[in-house]
Structure 1
Amino acid sequence: MDLPVLKGKLREHGKTYAYLANVIGRSVTTANAKINGRVAFSVTKAYLIFQWLNFTDEEKAKIFLT
């Protein structure tokens, strides 16, 4: 999982961990743990993030399939 790309995408869109937490329906603490690799993203949560940040197929694969 290439989380720096995900973090960059959040910055690119001006989004915070609080926004991410709201999108995935979790606390900011949980969103932080997920974005820093301490807790895995479920497929459902990853899909929500893809839609929210308009990921390309290449970005999806780079972040979640590496």
Structure 2
Amino acid sequence: MAGLNLQEALKQVLEDDGKISKYEAKVIRELIMADGHVSADEKTFLEAALRDNTFDESAFELLSAVLLRSHLKD
């Protein structure tokens, strides 16, 4: 998924089964953390993704932890 933006990555991981797995969540996390911090746009993206999509339990925990840590750093 190199070179993808977050929206494209989310669309691709949802195409196969409509659900985000732990592995797919790790890929999204790596895209977000590539520059070492979570931007305001990335926080907005994560909030919407967590609210509007289906995750397996470990994937939800993984990405919600990224969002929580980013809010704690602010």
State TM-score, norm by structure 1: 0.32
Whose RCO is larger (CA < 8 A, sep 6+)?
A: 1
- Which has the larger Rg? 2
More strand by proportion, 1 or 2? 2
Q: TM-score, normalised by structure 2?
A: 0.30
Higher helix share: 2
